[in-house]
Chain A
Amino acid sequence: MRRLAVDVGGTFTDCFVEWDGRHIESKALTTYHNLAVGFLEAVDRAAAQLGLEADRMLGGVDSVRYGTTLGTNALIERRGPRLGVIVTMGFECGMRLSRGRGYGDGLPRHLQVDLAGATRPAPLVDQALIVGVNERIDARGEVLLPLNADDVRAKVRRLVDQGAQGFVVALVNSVVNTAHEERIEEIIRDEYPSTLFGSFPVILSHRISQRKSEYARMMAAVVCGFLHEQMFYSLGNLEEALRERNYRKPVLLIHNTGGMASLESTHALQTIHSGPVAGLGAAQRVAQEHSLPVVVATDMGGTSFDVGIAQGQGSWLYDFNPVIDRWLVSTPMVYLRTLGAGGGSIARYDRLWRTVQVGPDSAGSEPGPACYGRGGMEPTVSDADLVLGYLSPDYYADGSLQLDRSLAELVIEENLVSQLGGSVVQAALLVKQKVDRNMADAVFMEVATRGFDPRKISLISYGGAGPVHCCGFAAALGVDRVMVPPFSAVFSAFGAANLRQLHLHERSVYLTVYNPLTREVTLDIAAVNRICDDLEAQGADDLARQGFDSSAIRHQVEFEMRYGNQLVQLSVPSPIARLRNVDDVLGLIDAFRINYSERFGEKAAAPEAGVKIVAVRVVSWVVGTAVKLESAETSRGATPRPAGERTCHFLSHPEGVATPVYRWNTLGASSALPGPAIIEAPHTTYVVEPGWRFETDASGGAWMTRVNGQH
């Protein structure tokens, strides 16, 4: 297998290459002016490790996969075209009002609950560029008010006069009757043919999302329109650059659905957060390799703590109404949460509870923690870690940054000890304990509310600060084992190398499966199967267009179901490809009950309130091969010898304990170290707390395991 995957991140562009069983990792600085430059630099470095010219490597790989964490920058910086938005008359203010809650979407909880301070972000589209057209379709698709073509033409011209550079058409109930949106597209094409001003992109909301929810669907289309041009320009550039370097196949873009596709089968919205989703793909790969049913992947960096859930059997956990930057959209996206906890999280004295509070605000990278010596005057988690002996002042971030312990001690003394009393170390221990608790609570909340038992999960920890704290937050969570995975420095790129072509097609429906008033199982099986056939054909077409034979394509039907009129709609994978009779429907009802009860408790299941299907979805994918989970680093020395020793302070040993310090590159494939121990790697530090044990495995990963009976 020869495969290349790249993840363009905020600071580094990471590259992972599988080349006939060899696994290569490389990095280059991300080049914002032209992402292709950093991309090719990382590729060059990988090729150099293989002893090849980059052109030869690129000519030899079966695919180039591309993921990025940068998708939201254009939104945040408002770098997009002036879009004209056409909606049903009466719905013009939807974007401005953002369902009321829009002021808080994308914000941390403490800002959401501050109503006096609540302020909506400026809309992506000026109100003057949003017009209503005289038309109306009802919930069943019946036309209540016919579209008035003259009205549309006048509005389209008005939008162009106002400077619209592209159009989004988002009409009410267009997912059940697409005619009016399609007619408007015809009118725009007729009024402004591509021969006149060049092509105006026209995005119809029903082509972006087939779900009912006119605001979230409109915003999905608007975000798509906003990012469309830039994405196609930059990715077109990249494809061109790769063609010049001997890569002739299409670049495969990682989708936030956990799949990937070529550029022409991708809309911009699908690329948002594709980097972190690829990281979750890597976690999924780890889960499969180690037969772990549920893995919670945690990425603790300098300013954030990302949490995602991967399942060993390969299915994804989706958020169908994710918030992108500050915008609630309708699109299926692999579930991920970013929380405010990291090495830069600021610690303060909490007058109310007479203890320390950590976060949610962060010192960020500038000025960063006080120990960076860049002017930070507030104590952070990293300052506490330094004081406690976990971090080395001389070997942080591969030695690129010298840490100043005296500054860390000073800010802890001035800001915390002055209020709490005690010593600097005691205060630092409180900071560590609190941030570990915060992360444990965050993981608990994410896991529990998605129906998993927090006690039965496996934790994966990566990111620069993750292995420093993973023993601490795992213990706080009640989890006894944490894995720091192989390839963790290029984890998203490794994940991208393992994803497969996958497409998701879905449709909002309103089907009563069981009517409690008439006490009948009423599902129209033929109608459901027609929808499944249609969605499956769309998925097959998508994949056929990318050159896949139908024999390689697989489909899974999923139903979104609920009891009565509740909000939650659980995805229930259909036990069989097509429903045939009442017995199959009862099987489906039972599958839903089991799924629902696992998540909310058996007593919460209420089939007597009626059972409904509100969406049908078909997931279509191509069977593919995965990269073997084996790091190039597994041939390191076998007998670990400490490189040194320093005093570290732990909750169980607040007075300090002499702790051996190892270098990661001296450890073997099955090294085992009892805690306390410190293992220093170029991009992170492993803190093995007392009562924990550290082991490396053949894959190049490391396991931290709590020794029985020790807490």
Chain B
Amino acid sequence: MATAVKSKLEQFLDETVVFYGPDREILGDHRLAPRSVLEERAMAKHRDPHTTSLLRSKLEVTAEEAFYQLEQTGAAPGAKWGDLIAGIFTAEGDLAVASSGGVLLFSVVCQPVLRYVMKYWRNEPTVGVRPGDVFMSTDPRFGNIHTPDQNMFIPVFTDEGELALWVMVIVHEGENGSVEPGGMPSAAESPYMEGIRMPPVKVGENFTLRRDVVTWLQNSVRDPMLQIQDMKIRLSACLKIKERIDEIAREYSWEELVAALRWTLEDTEAEVRRRLAAWPDGTVRSTVFADSTLRENALIKIAVEARKRGDELVLDFRGTSPQFTNRSNNTVLHALKGMLAQEFLTFVWPDLPRNQAVFAPMRVVTDYGSALDCTPEAPNAQSMMTFFPAFTALQMVVPKFIYACSRRYTKILSPWYNMITTFIYGGINQYGETVGNLCADLNGMSGGARDDADGENSISPIFAAMTDLGEQEVLEEETPIVKIVPHRLMTDNCGFGKFRGGTGYQMIATVRRADAFGFMTTCVGSKFPSTYGLFGGYGAPTYPLCKVKGVNAFDKLKDLPEERWTVASIMNERPFEGARYSTHHMGMQFEIVKQGELYMIVQGAGGGYGDPLERDPDAVIKDIRDAIISESTARRIFKVAFDARTLSVDAKETERLRNEEREARKRRARPFDEFLKDWVKPAPPEGLPYYGAWDDRETIYMGSPERKAPRGQALGVTMPDPRDVRIAQLEDMLRKAGINLQE
């Protein structure tokens, strides 16, 4: 083709684009951008690390101030406990300085949004990037984690009009007009049922929001008050950061400021590489499972192979389950990376600054079209159901590298409980307002056991520190939810071990003074545990959702003795006459709750560390006293002999029992090869809804032994509607009963 024609064709193709959709090239690359011309110039002039350190300190305070402001003024429940981040980004979109608190996985997921703007809108005549512009996005296919997260960002220019940096804040807002209230619909069968899908859009000019755009967004959600209020507070937080940055630039200079941002990134990456280099080289593998799509039971494989060489770490997730094209449990790739970064920032190197460079030396390998790297047409509002297990897989792997390191930056940890056990709620509250959001109990995940201490009972989510379980009195003031039992620790609900994992609490909830208000729940781990132990420690148990319907509990509870106010007692002993008792997996789609009916869920446990036979017998007895474990568990699992009346330990007998168990273990043991012969099967068993590679990761199974495809060609599984499945089952039963069904 002639050059002129070729050029003409290229121009035609460039100008004739139907849709500037998600950009795989942007989404696939989380490395730091090359130094810009401005950065090169600035860094050549400003190389003094001491001055940079002082300047950086001011930027950090600025981010903290904005974080505080967002937390205080945000109306979304997530904002109140820090499900947000405030950051300063380089002009090319790399997060350089972020608030220290909040959800740190945001530190990796914001970059694609800015890169998209820089690539597509900066030079687009109808959009552009100019001083005073205000942008926002919600669609995770362009960055962010999932649709309930809403960001806001503004460009900041030097006095000469050069783009110096970006300021962005992001908050988990919750309600977003999705098919179920609260913003995280498990019922979504396509991305278009997951609420507002906003690619990066200019929503304001002259630092002012456009009321028509705000109205459009309010018109798309159930809670228009929340929408406008939090858009205003996000913009105010951005403006606060910009105001401070302008002051800093006046005190130093724009070039010094730009240089400080870039030095911050490069110094951080260098430090991470030094720390990685101190790990022993090697390969460690881990496999975990999610047991549900939230609509049906399924064994969803999440596998990681971590290869560490020199100062680089490769996290290879190939062989993981294919995506589910009509289920919302799929993960967009950068959300996976964000969650992996969280492990390093919170659980391995909590002293490191919060910025993009922490994850820059890591490489993530996935299969496009898998549950951890879904395509744009796969829903993903409940991506936590796959990327949280992926985080756990990493938590299984990392201790095996750092166990041998001479310098550690915090304790070695067994896996933290990894599911958001909470009531997501929605409907019309007692004041007639339409609301949709979630209770703060998702912050009650239990800690994994440490190499020198037990895990903490329900303490903090895997994605943030210093969150808050909140106060029930405040919850009851604002919503019709009544927690009859808000936080009662559940006996025997911990990962046993030399050091035990933290114990989770149980919740028994209902509603009052509202007839059109309901709950949903979203967890995996009802049939197959989601969290595991380390070095011989036990994992978490499984947790079903329990319901008691056809009863008004307030009429009955006054006669219920103290010891029966537990999920286990209510479900096992069924104290309310005439009530209907049922258990379910934790993927409950939104349903209206009748006043006085009970919904019961249990916070999960952290994994145990080490062999329970090595646990200090006195610690076992203390756990009995504190109702963390039962006497039966003390005897069966920990092999502690004690006087049931006085709880005094019989040390000699304990030692005998433990030795006996050790001998029994030896007797049960078999040579590894022999074990493999019996244990390893060529394919998943018939009837098991298994998704992902079996032994050979080149073959991906999609629900049955027969349904499989070579890796790379298994581009998704479409699940039948559970109601259709149920109808088919019932029709089959009728047919078998001899009833002829008319079509």
Distance between A143 CB and nearest chain B CB, rounded to angstroms: 10
Say yes or no: is B12 at the interface (Cβ < 8 Å to chain A). Answer: no
Q: Which of B53, B77, B447 contacts A353 (CB 8 A)?
A: B53
4 new A-B pairs (CB below 8 Å) besides A136-B554, A139-B473? A90-B487, A115-B350, A116-B411, A510-B477
CA of A110 to CA of B101, assembled, Å: 10
CA of A512 to CA of B433, assembled, Å: 12
Task: Given A91-B487, A100-B468, A600-B236, decide whether A116 and B350 contact each other with a Cβ distance below 8 A.
Answer: yes
- CB–CB A116/B554 < 8 A: no
Say yes or no: is A608 at the interface (Cβ < 8 Å to chain B). Answer: yes
Say yes or no: is A33 at the interface (Cβ < 8 Å to chain B). Answer: no
Distance between B375 CB and nearest chain A CB, rounded to angstroms: 33
Across-interface contacts of B656 in A (CB, < 8 A): none
Q: Which of B268, B465, B478, B558 contacts A115 (CB 8 A)?
A: B465
CA of A112 to CA of B100, assembled, Å: 10
- CB–CB A99/B236 < 8 A: no
Mark A526-542 against chain B: 1 for CB-CB distance below 8 A, else 0: 00000000000000000
- CB–CB B473/A134 < 8 A: no
CA of A114 to CA of B75, assembled, Å: 27
Of residues 512 through 527 on chain B, the ones whose CB sits less than 8 Å from some CB of chain A are: 512
CA of A136 to CA of B476, assembled, Å: 12
Say yes or no: is A437 at the interface (Cβ < 8 Å to chain B). Answer: yes
Distance between B175 CB and nearest chain A CB, rounded to angstroms: 12
CA of A216 to CA of B470, assembled, Å: 10
List the B residue with the shortest CB-CB distance to A142.
B512
Q: Which of A43-51, A101-109, A226-234, A309-317 contacts B (4 or more CB under 8 A)?
A: A101-109
Mark A7-18 against chain B: 1 for CB-CB distance below 8 A, else 0: 000000000000
- CB–CB A134/B562 < 8 A: yes
- CB–CB B472/A172 < 8 A: yes
Of residues 460 through 484 on chain B, the ones whose CB sits less than 8 Å from some CB of chain A are: 460, 465-474, 476-478, 482-484
Across-interface contacts of B74 in A (CB, < 8 A): 566-567
* Among A96, A101, A434, residue most surrounded by chain B Cβ atoms (within 10 Å): A101
Distance between B700 CB and nearest chain A CB, rounded to angstroms: 34
Task: Given A118-B456, A600-B73, decide whether A145 and B558 contact each other with a Cβ distance below 8 A.
Answer: yes
Across-interface contacts of B456 in A (CB, < 8 A): 103, 118-120
Say yes or no: is A212 at the interface (Cβ < 8 Å to chain B). Answer: yes
Q: Which of B227-235, B277-285, B729-737 contacts A (4 or more CB under 8 A)?
A: B227-235
Say yes or no: is B583 at the interface (Cβ < 8 Å to chain A). Answer: no
Q: Which of B50, B267, B486 contacts A433 (CB 8 A)?
A: B50
List the B residue with the shortest CB-CB distance to A570.
B72
Say yes or no: is A581 at the interface (Cβ < 8 Å to chain B). Answer: no
- CB–CB A352/B54 < 8 A: no
- CB–CB A89/B57 < 8 A: no
B side interface size, CB within 8 A: 100
Distance between B272 CB and nearest chain A CB, rounded to angstroms: 10
Across-interface contacts of B69 in A (CB, < 8 A): 449, 600, 604
Q: Which of B49, B240, B459, B469 contacts A355 (CB 8 A)?
A: B49
CA of A260 to CA of B236, assembled, Å: 39
Say yes or no: is B79 at the interface (Cβ < 8 Å to chain A). Answer: yes
- CB–CB B268/A145 < 8 A: no
Q: Which of B228, B469, B478, B557 contacts A134 (CB 8 A)?
A: B557
Across-interface contacts of B72 in A (CB, < 8 A): 449, 566-568, 600
Say yes or no: is B347 at the interface (Cβ < 8 Å to chain A). Answer: yes
Distance between B332 CB and nearest chain A CB, rounded to angstroms: 25
Say yes or no: is B450 at the interface (Cβ < 8 Å to chain A). Answer: yes
**Chain A contacts to B: CB under 8 angstroms:** 89-94, 96-97, 99-101, 103-104, 109-110, 112-120, 127-128, 131-132, 134, 136, 138-139, 144-146, 148, 151, 172-173, 175, 212-216, 350-356, 430, 433-434, 437-438, 441, 444-445, 448-449, 476, 478, 508, 510, 512, 516-517, 563-568, 600-601, 603-606, 608-610
Q: Which of B225, B457, B512 contacts A97 (CB 8 A)?
A: B457
Say yes or no: is B163 at the interface (Cβ < 8 Å to chain A). Answer: no
- CB–CB B558/A148 < 8 A: yes
Say yes or no: is B61 at the interface (Cβ < 8 Å to chain A). Answer: yes
- CB–CB A101/B466 < 8 A: yes
Distance between B33 CB and nearest chain A CB, rounded to angstroms: 21
Across-interface contacts of A606 in B (CB, < 8 A): 75, 228-229, 232-233
- CB–CB A437/B54 < 8 A: yes
24 A–B contact pairs at CB < 8 A? A89-B565, A90-B565, A93-B488, A97-B457, A100-B467, A101-B460, A103-B459, A103-B460, A110-B350, A114-B350, A115-B416, A115-B459, A116-B411, A127-B627, A138-B476, A173-B473, A351-B274, A355-B52, A430-B50, A449-B68, A517-B225, A568-B72, A600-B69, A606-B229
- CB–CB B460/A563 < 8 A: no
List the A residue with the shortest CB-CB distance to B65.
A448
Task: Given A214-B473, A353-B56, A601-B240, decide whether A104 and B229 contact each other with a Cβ distance below 8 A.
Answer: no
List the B residue with the shortest CB-CB distance to A154.
B562
**Chain B contacts to A: CB under 8 angstroms:** 49-50, 52-54, 56-58, 60-61, 64-65, 68-69, 71-75, 77, 79-80, 100-101, 207-208, 225-226, 228-229, 232-233, 235-237, 239-240, 251, 267-268, 271, 274, 346-348, 350-353, 410-413, 416, 431-433, 443-444, 447, 450, 453, 456-460, 465-474, 476-478, 482-489, 505, 508, 512, 554, 557-558, 560, 562, 565, 625-627
Task: Given A148-B558, A353-B49, decide whether A94 and B487 contact each other with a Cβ distance below 8 A.
Answer: yes
Distance between B260 CB and nearest chain A CB, rounded to angstroms: 10
* Among B69, B228, B271, B467, residue most surrounded by chain A Cβ atoms (within 10 Å): B69
Across-interface contacts of B225 in A (CB, < 8 A): 516-517, 564, 608-610
- CB–CB B58/A441 < 8 A: yes
- CB–CB A100/B226 < 8 A: no
Across-interface contacts of A478 in B (CB, < 8 A): 251
CA of A115 to CA of B225, assembled, Å: 35
Across-interface contacts of A118 in B (CB, < 8 A): 447, 456, 459-460, 465
CA of A448 to CA of B346, assembled, Å: 27
Distance between A636 CB and nearest chain B CB, rounded to angstroms: 39
List the A residue with the shortest CB-CB distance to B354.
A113
Across-interface contacts of A212 in B (CB, < 8 A): 471, 473-474, 477
CA of A99 to CA of B80, assembled, Å: 13
Q: Which of B228, B235, B474, B487 contacts A608 (CB 8 A)?
A: B228
List the B residue with the shortest CB-CB distance to A606.
B229
Identify the 5 closest CB pairs spanning chains A and B, nearest first: A604-B236, A90-B485, A609-B229, A568-B72, A354-B49
Across-interface contacts of A476 in B (CB, < 8 A): 54
Distance between A634 CB and nearest chain B CB, rounded to angstroms: 38
Task: Given A91-B486, A99-B468, A100-B469, decide whether A115 and B347 contact each other with a Cβ distance below 8 A.
Answer: yes
- CB–CB A90/B483 < 8 A: yes
- CB–CB A214/B447 < 8 A: no
Distance between A135 CB and nearest chain B CB, rounded to angstroms: 9
* Among B473, B478, B487, residue most surrounded by chain A Cβ atoms (within 10 Å): B473
Across-interface contacts of B75 in A (CB, < 8 A): 563-566, 606, 609
Q: Which of B49, B57, B466, B560 contacts A438 (CB 8 A)?
A: B57
Across-interface contacts of B554 in A (CB, < 8 A): 136, 144-145
Across-interface contacts of B447 in A (CB, < 8 A): 115, 118
Q: Which of B411, B412, B472, B485 contacts A214 (CB 8 A)?
A: B472
Distance between B661 CB and nearest chain A CB, rounded to angstroms: 29
CA of A510 to CA of B77, assembled, Å: 17
Across-interface contacts of B50 in A (CB, < 8 A): 355-356, 430, 433
- CB–CB A603/B473 < 8 A: no
CA of A170 to CA of B476, assembled, Å: 17
Across-interface contacts of A355 in B (CB, < 8 A): 49-50, 52-53
Task: Given A139-B476, A445-B64, A449-B69, decide whether A90 and B488 contact each other with a Cβ distance below 8 A.
Answer: yes
- CB–CB A138/B444 < 8 A: no
- CB–CB B411/A564 < 8 A: no
- CB–CB B101/A120 < 8 A: no
- CB–CB A145/B465 < 8 A: no
Task: Given A103-B459, A213-B473, A353-B49, decide whether A119 and B453 contact each other with a Cβ distance below 8 A.
Answer: yes
* Among A91, A116, A120, A604, residue most surrounded by chain B Cβ atoms (within 10 Å): A116
Task: Given A91-B487, A609-B75, decide whether A144 and B482 contact each other with a Cβ distance below 8 A.
Answer: yes
